[in-house]
Copies of this chain bind each other. A is one copy, B any other.
Amino acid sequence: MKDTLDSMLNPSSVAVIGVSRDPTSFSYTYLSIIKKCGYKGSIYPVNPRADCLLNLKCYPSILEVSEEVDLAVITTPRKFVAGSVEECIKKGVKGIAILTGGFAEVDSEGKKLQEELVNQAKERGIRIIGPNCLGFYSAPANFDGFLSGFIRKGNIGMVAQSGNITRSLAFPGIKRGLGFSYIIELGNRADIQFHELIRYFRGNDATKVIALYIEGLNDGRRFIEEVRETTKIKPVVVLKSGRTEISARVISSHTASLAGKDEIYEGAFKQCGAIRVENTIEFSSALLALSQGKLPKGNRVGILSEGGGDCALTADTCARKNLIIPKFPLDKQERLRKIVPEIGQVTNPVDLSRWEKQPEVAKVMLDGDAIDGLIIVGGFAGWDFLNPDVAPEVEESARKMIELISKTEKPVSIYTYYSYEKSKSFDILRQNNVSLFLDHHDAVNAMTALMKYNTFKSKMEGRSFQTKLKVSPNLELFGKEQIPGKMIPEHQARKILEEYGLSFPEYRMAENQDEALQFAEEIGYPIALKIISEDILHKSDAGCVKLGLNSKDEVRKLFDEIIANAEKFKKNAKITGVLVSAMDTEEGVEIIIGALKNQTFGPTVAFGIGGIFVELLKDVSFRICPIDETDADEMIRETQGFPVLTGIRGGEPVDLKSVRKTLLDVSKLLLENPQISQLDLNPIKVHKIGLSVLDARMILE
């Protein structure tokens, strides 16, 4: 049996509510495109002032339609939308697409109205796409309810949060060869969310590649869960805007979504194996390559060209993208040399120095296991448009290449500068779904997307994501007095962190000078003193932290100084005590581990290397809790500063396992204690063996 989403996205019958009689109007055009594109189901235009539109019988209300209606599309002005939805509910439609705008994206009144509509429908199990959307396209249903009329059928399922961005794929993209199973524009995302459609596409046979344009997510955790499961079997490519502040401003005013911090999104995409692209050309190219369905087994590429300049430019981009261009073994070079003239190159890149025999050379390059994918750049095919006399040979060459491409299991990307022209050889390639890219760089980008997916796919095997969060605070550990926004006194924070396996240099809480002296002697010098006071958040700035004390005298003197400084900082500051701590004098590297509760994703954990990496280069990696060992390792390794941990310039490598363990411990802490809103362990000193946390700040939600 079809589920609701399935019935809605592949409707047997559609009512379009509010179709105008004006042929230049949006709604009339919309209806005409559905009809023109060969939708086979029943179409019921609803307009009380017309009997017939586009040769279709009109109904004064959806309630007058006697047959079942799977999908209702509402295009009426905002003030009539509520009434229309009510009628749709009465009629018992499966789903509604509300194209009308003017809801949450405009004002609070619109937001309220939108919530009411959705709640009404939800109660009856009716799903809504939109409002403020362009509708959707469904290839299996031959249904172009997307105001296009030009979409090409294919295996890409796309979900987007902007109609305009889908147009960059559905117009230029289609010209480049993209074909779609579905295109769904979510508009305000009042009901149906990204993760539901991702799950739907995962189980949908018509869809082999999933494309997402995201401005913001409502439920980041479900998104990660669904993408992670999907990546195991189908690639997910995502374009996300809002990297920058100004762009985030535009988005939040535009679709009423709250764009999260981009670093956190970046971490989430890595965590679930989504392939992130930066612009619509990269987006199209990745989709075009992935929709061919062939994956490289590794990241070694062959480059084939007519000329050295093309080889050089392509090799530059490959190196930047970490693709390897292996030098061919001698026997392969010898085989190539039999075809490639003396002035050409056979080592890889292969510079054939002429257009003839390209399929033969490509075959030798692809044979065996020397490369995982082939990039052909420069002057392949198309030569017939310059010199019609050679057309038969060029066309034959195109045919041979198609045969080769269809037989090989390895992906082949082609860029040829002639492909912008009309020629029979290109028609042959295009009719056989050969991917042609826009330039060297673009062809390499496409291959990179394939190689990324190959990695992500195997990386996700056997891993899943825990979506559910604990909601009740842990009273036992934190005590009953949990004040929102309150910073937990450091000695208490330390106790909590110790429960989760984190370790500190030996320390005690001293309530007076005598105790401080006693503890210092017991711990052994050098020691540090640090005030614990809820009135002093920035202890160092207040002069209430003293490091490297070496004697009883120093402890006595500086204890008094700390107390005096606290009093200076705030009159009658409430002082809980002074932390007496051993100094960590062992060699090591300082790192920072933090945690932050995020509106979109819930608890997140952050990692960075101390000093200029975090402070100047903003070199921090994020992941969403819970993380597993693979996540933790990736967080550590993806920072620019990573080599510092493995020892540069003869330095000793530090204990990466203990860093990984600490990240996992922090992730567990955040998951089990939802009341924590922020945690800074800064710095943590990582040694050759083990690590110790030198300062901890924990703030409640």
Contact = CB atoms under 8 A, between A and B. Distances in A.
A109 B597 CA distance: 70
A320 B262 CA distance: 13
Interface stretch (A68-76, A221-229, A243-251, A472-480): A243-251
Contacts of A320: 243-244
Interface stretch (A4-12, A79-87, A365-373, A636-644): A636-644
A312 B215 contact: yes
Contacts of A498: none
B307 A241 contact: no
Interface string A45-65: 000000000000000000000
A439 B280 contact: yes
Contacts of A564: none
A381 to B, nearest CB: 12
A450 to B, nearest CB: 19
A612 B644 contact: yes
A167 B379 contact: yes
Interface string A157-178: 0001111110110011001000
A242 B312 contact: yes
Interface size band for A: 35 or more
A310 B164 contact: yes
Given A281-B441, A281-B442, A308-B250, A167 B417 contact: yes
Interface in A268-321: 278-281, 305-313, 315-320
A444 to B, nearest CB: 9
B317 A279 contact: yes
A471 interface: no
A615 B318 CA distance: 24
A91 interface: no
Contact of A164 (B165, B305, B421, B643): B305
Oligomer copy total:
2
Interface string A96-114: 0000011001100000000
Contacts of A313: 165, 239, 241, 247, 279-280
Contacts of A164: 305-310, 378-379, 417
A390 B312 contact: no
A552 to B, nearest CB: 27
Interface string A198-236: 000000000000000101000000000000000000000
Interface string A22-66: 011000010000000000000000000000000000000000000
Nearest to A102: B343
A342 to B, nearest CB: 7
Interface string A375-400: 00011000000110110000000000
A441 B243 contact: no
B172 A316 contact: no
A338 interface: no
Interface string A577-598: 0000000000000000000000
A325 interface: yes
Contacts of A692: none
Nearest to A279: B441
B281 A246 contact: no
Nearest to A354: B26
Interface centre among A309, A386, A418 (most CB of B within 10 A): A309
A279 B443 CA distance: 11
B312 A251 contact: yes
B162 A307 contact: yes
A617 interface: yes
A29 B253 CA distance: 59
Contact of A616 (B167, B307, B309, B643): B643
A440 interface: yes
A149 interface: yes
Contacts of A160: 309
Contacts of A644: 612, 616
A165 B310 contact: yes
A316 B246 CA distance: 8
A246 B315 contact: yes
A490 interface: no
B172 A343 contact: no
B307 A24 contact: no
Contacts of A102: 342-343
B149 A386 contact: yes
A311 B259 CA distance: 14
Most buried by B among A149, A239, A254: A254
A468 interface: no
A438 interface: yes
A649 interface: yes
Q: Which of A149, A150, A440 has the most CB of B within 10 A?
A: A440
A100 to B, nearest CB: 11
Given A343-B105, A442-B281, A312 B254 contact: yes
B316 A242 contact: yes
Contacts of A662: none
Interface in A401-432: 417-421
Contacts of A101: 343
Contacts of A253: 308, 345
A330 interface: no
Contacts of A161: 309
A631 interface: no
19 contacts: A23-B389, A105-B343, A164-B305, A164-B307, A164-B308, A165-B313, A167-B379, A171-B417, A175-B421, A241-B312, A241-B316, A246-B349, A250-B308, A250-B345, A279-B317, A281-B438, A281-B442, A616-B640, A616-B641
Given A162-B307, A215-B312, A612-B612, 6 more contacts: A102-B343, A149-B386, A164-B379, A245-B319, A250-B351, A278-B441
Query: Nearest 7 pairs between A and B by C-beta?
Result: A162-B309, A254-B308, A244-B319, A279-B441, A164-B307, A247-B315, A241-B312
Interface of A: 23-24, 29, 101-102, 105-106, 147-150, 160-165, 167-168, 171-172, 175, 213, 215, 239, 241-248, 250-251, 253-255, 278-281, 305-313, 315-320, 325, 342-343, 345, 349, 351, 378-379, 386-387, 389-390, 417-421, 438-442, 612-613, 615-617, 640-641, 643-644, 648-649
